Amino acid sequence: MIEVRNITKTYSNGDISTQALEGVSFVIKDGEYVAIMGPSGSGKSTLMHILGCLDTPTSGQYLLDGKNVSSFSEVELADIRKEKIGFVFQAFNLLPRATVVRNVALPLMYAGVPKEERMERARGAILAAGLDEAHLYYRSNQLSGGQMQRVAIARALVNNPTIVLADEPTGNLDTQTGEIVLGTFKKLNDEGRTIVLITHEPDVAIHAKRIIHIKDGKILSDTPAKDYENH
């Protein structure tokens, strides 16, 4: 599904150049649950933007389902994001006074899906994300942090993406609530979803099945999560 070949990313500001990624390569297969872990400034956010088709590499190739998206236009990248990738961010990015079901259905409204269909698909995504029928018509500002993040997960699922890309999804949550949200990702992965989790916390990364550890723009290690502590 995902193949990254010798990716580099350089940012230039006048005469100053910053190398954010340097020769990064890996493959993520369908149905994997991978954590990309690294400290602030490691390059993991830059890598996330490339994987999410929000940015393109300076050199190297990013293949998604066999297509080299590295050279795609902005319009083509937007289509990829809409059709293949569901995003979950640290900030929940919900409309505070809108109901849960309306928040989740919003991407479908932008895509021109008829109202009855988008409401049914939103309901299914909400249930898949671990919330129940009683929450459908709550306003998002009536929910706990963990519930809001699960609404954000449901919104990421509503277009039936092949990849869920989660950027520090427990960053605004306490430990116990974070564990509940991570349990939701495990459930989705058990059902066959490909999950890519971006984090700086080893305690979060260990919930994945594989950890790619990045530092100073390079991969330090790529190992099964169960072996990470001994690596």
What pLDDT score does 90 carry? 85
Is residue 38 scored above 60 in pLDDT? Answer: yes
The H-assigned helical ranges of 87-206 are 100-110, 115-128, 145-157, 175-190, 202-205
What are the pLDDT digits (tens) for 40-50?
A: 889 998 999 99
pTM: 0.90
What pLDDT score does 229 carry? 58
What are the pLDDT digits (tens) for 3-15?
A: 999 999 999 888 8
For the chain, what are the domain ranges? 32-56+84-228
What average pLDDT score do residues 152-165 get? 92
Residues linked to residue 224 through DSSP beta bridges, in sequence order: 210
What pLDDT score does 230 carry? 54
Share of residues in the chain with pLDDT > 70 (%)? 98
Q: Distance between the two ends of the chain, CA-based, in angstroms?
A: 26
Read off the tokens for 230: 């001994």
Q: What is the mean pLDDT of the chain?
A: 91
Is residue 31 scored above 90 in pLDDT? Answer: yes
Is residue 132 scored above 80 in pLDDT? Answer: yes
Query: Which fold would CATH assign to domain 32-56+84-228?
Result: Rossmann fold (3.40.50)
